[in-house]
Structure 1
């Protein structure tokens, strides 16, 4: 998370803080209290910096909020699309690559997703960003299924099944423990793809999540 913030917002600039420090504080405030908590004076207090320090890095609050949306777009949509294109020999392996997103916050930040979706309820501009992201993600998932031979209609239906289930998890703030989630993964893959994952595919998946079944 910190590295992505630094890449998007800039480099450290001494005692005034840095653009990435201010953006990190804004991210934390968004997750804790919603967008109404992302204001310059409270952030300055949180950081122990002067309010004027903010203006060395951002023109105004809107520019900071735009930086948050950019971070969210790069992290959640960018990484999900990347995972749909990851190498896989079978459709079930491809789906496990996507499911990595739901288990690895560095790939897909579910709390950030919930916060941005909540924010969209009071901002038409953010709602438009959400709608664009939803379509891009669905298009990527649809393309995944098409690569493995499904026709356009069924690829679209399966993509929506995958995506809407996960958005449901996020919207409901579901809090399964890892063992419960992992026990359900083979069934989800079979439901989404019509093909159960092979044992060697599951073994590789479990290994990269440091899970021992």
Structure 2
């Protein structure tokens, strides 16, 4: 993909505009002429960076895979001294849009309702993410079926949040974190685990006490 700047814009500018339209209005809004008008660029400048609309859509999906699947896997594989710390590492994804873009996730899952190819990519991403979460539980001594069910519980709970477009005040969600940890791991979090997690997300309210 050719990179350039100036009056033609750049591949990143076109891709960002496509992302914004996908998030706001769905895949049908990701079309060359409306994007050109929005960016105040000529339609022909698009073709300096992308062969056609399909290549632009493929770039969007690549960005989604790299960010959401890539970061979730990295967080699941990140060092943790306990399963509690490792689960909280994964929870970082649900609270940090730089790690996991929930709006992007919803938009791509909605797009999959119109495209068998995107549906297949969603299924592949789900399996990759679940495998990473299973491996995380296996790493801490959970046996096969238990690791699988706990991984699914962690993952499908969050996908449910996304699919329902559920919104929680940060303070409310943070108060629920200890109970989520206990449900997902079977262990109660220590205050030091919670303090580290709260600090990462700039949450200063008094932490949970057992």
TM-score (norm 2): 0.96
1:61 aligns with 2:53: yes
- RMSD of Structure 2 on Structure 1 (CA): 0.9
Partner of 1:127: 119
Corresponding position: 1:176 with 2:168: yes
Please show how residues 86-125 of structure 1 align to structure 2 within 5 Å.
86-125=78-117
Unaligned runs of at least 5 residues, structure 2: 206-210
Q: What secondary structure sits across from 1:196 in the alignment?
A: coil
Superposition deviation, residue 15 in structure 1: 1.3
Distance in 2, matches of 1:208 and 1:63, equals 37
The corresponding residue for 1:5 is none
Question: What residue is the counterpart of 1:40 in the other structure?
Answer: 32
Report the CA distance between 1:121 and its aligned residue.
0.4
Which residue pairs with 2:185 in the alignment?
Answer: 193
Distance 1:184 1:50 in 2: 50
In 2, Cα distance between equivalents of 1:197 and 1:41: 53
Deviation at 1:158, TM superposition (A): 0.2
Q: Please state how far the C-alpha of 1:180 moved relative to its aligned partner.
A: 0.5
Cα deviation 1:31-50 (Å, max 9, x = unaligned): 01100000000000110111
What's the counterpart of residue 65 of structure 2? Answer: 73
Secondary structure at the aligned position of 2:16 is classed as helix
Q: What number of residue pairs does the alignment pair up?
A: 205
Q: CA deviation at 1:10?
A: 6.3
1:54-80 residue CA offsets vs partner (Å, 9 max, x unmatched): 000000000000000000000000000
Output the CA distance in 1 between the equivalents of 2:23 and 2:187: 37
Normalized against structure 1, the TM-score is what?
A: 0.95
Judge conservation of contact 2:3–2:49 (CA < 8 Å) in 1.
Answer: no
| 5+ residue gaps, structure 1 | 1-8
Bigger proportion of residues as helix:
1
| Selected match of 1:21 from 1, 8, 13 | 13
Find the aligned partners of 2:154 and 2:61 in 1 and give their Cα distance: 24
- Find the aligned partners of 1:80 and 1:53 in 2 and give their Cα distance: 35
**Distance in 2 (alpha carbons) for counterparts of 1:15 and 1:94:** 47
